[in-house]
Amino acid sequence: MRIAVVGSGYVGLVAGACFADLGHEVSLVDNDQEKLAALQAGQVPIHEILLPELLARHRGKRLTFSDDLHAAVKESAAVFIAVGTPPTEHGEADLSYVESVARGIATAINGYKVVVEKSTVPVYTSEWIRRILLRNAAAPDLFDVASNPEFMREGTAVVDFFYPDRILLGANSERCAAMLREIYAPMTDGSYYRRSEAIPGPEGAQDPPRLIMTSTQSAELTKHACNAFLAMKISYINAVASVCDAVGADVQQVREGMGSDRRIGPNFLNAGIGYGGSCFPKDLKAFRAVARERGYEFRLLDEVMRINEEQREHFLKKVRNALWTLRGKRLAVLGLAFKGGTDDIRESPAIALVEMLVQEGCQISAYDPAAMERARQALKSGVEFAGNPYEAARGADALLILTDWEEFAKLDWKRMRNQLKDPIVIDGRNLYDPAAVAESGFTYYSMGRPVASPEEAAVEATPARKIGNS
């Protein structure tokens, strides 16, 4: 099938490359000439595992890049809208880009088309797209509007596309539903996974994936409901971690006890400095705004967001407790992306904390495996950028872990001890075993767990003295 994907941002670029790998002919449309030139030249604008391989495999063949929306719509049976929906100052999703694309699509319809929302949008956006198409002279029998929200995680988006927990398709007519099923048929009938060049899946992946058909409104609402629920789990365990800090409990042990309950599960129960990225913060605000517009005050979402904001202050308090005063301190920061596996710094709690520390008078030496260039543009003063973790730690008063990169979980602690001015580690992601770090000579602070010190580690390692006659 010929498919147009409008928007070459994170969602559009990954979806377009993956649709091409399924065997479709894909035209990726964008009006950013610089980005199009870079893509056509073989550059990959985002850090995403396996995406460079897919682009190299299909660029100029099944996957082409264009700024001509009119031509792409005419040539395609399905048009996926994957443009940005940033939040307004009041928290609602800004749908101006979606509206602009819908107007462009309307003028190019020359036969039956399925127009598919791929961006994360509020419920009833599909109805507004339909109205825009009709107002711009599109014949009502020549199009349907559908919803196909993505559930890809940054860092593992390509694998998530091909091995999803479910494929969610929202359609209000059987004609539309049939075309959507055809697009995903190579996955749902299992034929894609039998190909020798198919993207390999993770252990335990469901093959073929489950297909769920709903109304467009239900599909739109499901995306927001999922992201809000996952954010709620993160804020919940962070609130539990604060209680653990207060009573001397260990949140990792609490998490194990909670996560072993099949009704709860361990995923998204990792205490830390809070969620970030382009989805959770934006989608929670948009979901709350939609509920409010319809007369429901979703106060639970207010609390989820409040806890997330407080985590940064909670971590900053740990830094103060460890160092007493902050002004004039040199701190090594590992991690700037909002999570490991991506170069995305949007709404990154790591970036927010670095800015807070700089305001407190700290000098920061930072390192991130992928997000350095983006961070340079966001952090203008008080921050140096190092070439590796050990360079960042040289002469620092403490080491701060702010992003859960796998690389950081394998630090050489002896080498790190030789670089740091003071052997203090403040871990905002709970990457390490406290006893192991303490045994390496560090005082170790983490989220929701007791402080571990070399003195305590030495006492625990000393054999108990025998009592009585030997």
Active site residue ranges: 279
Paired tokens of 314: 């909670």
Count CB-CB contacts under 10 A for residue 422: 15
Q: How far apart are CA 123 and CA 88, in angstroms?
A: 17
Cis peptide preceding 450, ω within 30 of 0: no
Q: What is the DSSP string of 216-278?
A: HHHHHHHHHHHHHHHHHHHHHHHHHHHHHHHHT--HHHHHHHHHTSTTT-STT---SS---TT
Q: How far apart are CA 422 and CA 390, in angstroms?
A: 14
Residue type, 11: V
| Closest among 7, 32, 44 to 118, alpha carbons compared | 7
> CA torsion sign, 83 to 45 to 5 to 36?
positive
Angle at 421 between CA 419 and CA 422, to 5 degrees: 115
